[in-house]
Structure 1
Amino acid sequence: MQLDPRARRCVVEALAAYCQGLFLGCASMLGAASEGAWYVAGEQLRHLDARLARALDGDNIVTVMNRISEVLRQTRTLRITVDELRAQAALLRQLRNYGVHPRSDHLERYFTDSGAAILLMETHTYLGRLTDAVSTCLTDHDESAEE
């Protein structure tokens, strides 16, 4: 799964922000990239679920993520993975929304040099795992269709 140009730009700008010591900007851009990745995943899975297709045509990332999660959970080996992906996505969403939610003091640790560095590495792994989950789901669906 390739990120679309907007999500790739968010990752590039997250790295640039990190290099300039702009850790809030880094975290915010990673949150935006995460949401973009879920939309890309949804487009790849669109044909498997009519409700997912409708969600993708709307403008609510939470609905899209819920539908993708349900599609991925149909692949038995992905059930725990989906929960882990959703947890990381929720964190990145909170970080992206940090500026508009005044009760987010627990997120401050991500706005340091070491916190942002770890977040960058974790996000790299998370995006790879999301990609792998989509591939596994599609392979499982193709194999089921052949039987």
Structure 2
Amino acid sequence: MEKDNQNNKLENDLDILKEIFIVLKLTNKYYRILCQKFNITEMQFEVLYLLHISGDNGLKMSELGYKLEMARSGVTLLVDKMALAGLVKRRADVEDRRIIKVMITEKGNEIMKEIFPSDEIFKVSSLDFMQQDEKELLCKLIIKTKEKLVSKVSMV
């Protein structure tokens, strides 16, 4: 009986992980299609999103690297390509000219305005069927799962 309960738990855990994996694959496909529509890479979309939500202040290159979990050299190359495409621009910080901020351009904003018709809602959101409290619970559970996986991975 005890062994059956363990097997059921294992099957349920594996079923949950399988569903998470399927959702991850579908989400990646969704964003790939979205990026293809606007002729940008997924990483460029992430940068545009971060700059879009940062408002007129933009982000320091170091902040962008931290949020993207990228090395400074990678962020520099990414921003260089995006600046050449007219999606972002660099500006020296008003208070400390040694600090470079990345700002979204009008072209980048046009892409974001098409994807986000308002500041809060995706035009086609994969989570628009959920209530806000359900989204918050899902987020908490995902973070909890991520933290557990991070600790397991660091042990390996």
| Interval containing the TM-score (normalised by the shorter chain) | under 0.3
Larger Rg: 2
Point out which structure has higher relative CO (alpha carbons under 8 A, 6+ apart). 1
TM-score, L = length of structure 1: 0.23
Structure with the bigger percentage of helix = 1
Q: Which has the higher strand share?
A: 2
- TM-score using structure 2 length: 0.22
